[in-house]
Amino acid sequence: MRAVISAVLTVLFLIPSLTARAEGVFGRLDAAGTRLSGDYRAFYLDSGSYLRLGGSLAVGGALANTGADAGVRDFYQENIRNSATDVLSDITRLPGEALITVPALALFYLSTDNLWAERSLRALFVGGPLGLFLRSATGGGRPTEGSSDWSPFSNNNGLSGHSFIGAVPFITAAKMEESPSVRWLLYGASTLPALSRINDDEHFFSQAALGWYLAYLSASAVEKGGAPLISVSPYKDGAVVSFSLVF
pLDDT averaged over the chain?
85
- H or E segment to which residue 230 belongs: strand 230-235
Report the alpha-carbon distance of residue 194 to residue 95 in Å, rounded. Answer: 10
Question: What is the end-to-end Cα distance of the chain in Å, rounded?
Answer: 63
> What is residue 30's predicted lDDT score, i.e. its pLDDT?
58
Domain ranges of the chain: 39-243
- The candidate with the shortest Cα–Cα distance to 131, out of 211, 46, 207, 195, is 211
Q: How far is CA 93 from CA 19, 35, 73, 97, 174, in A?
A: 38, 30, 18, 7, 19
pLDDT per position in the chain (247 positions), as tens?
444 334 334 333 434 443 444 455 555 665 666 788 889 998 999 999 999 999 999 999 999 999 999 999 999 999 999 999 999 999 999 999 999 999 999 999 999 989 999 999 999 999 999 999 999 999 999 999 988 999 999 999 999 999 999 999 999 999 999 999 999 999 999 999 999 999 999 999 999 999 999 999 999 999 987 544 434 445 445 444 444 443 3
The residues pairing with 241 across neighbouring beta strands, listed in sequence order, are: 232
pTM of the model: 0.81
Residue-wise pLDDT tens digits, 39-58 = 999 899 999 999 999 999 99
DSSP annotation of 95 reads G
**DSSP of 100-162:** HHHHHHHHHHHHH--HHHHHHHHHHHHHHHHHHHHHHHH----GGGS-----TTS-S-SS-HH
Closest C-alpha among 115, 109, 85, 62 to residue 196: 85
**Residues in the chain, how many?**
247
Closest CA to 195 of 207, 183, 186: 207
The whole-number pLDDT of residue 28 equals: 62
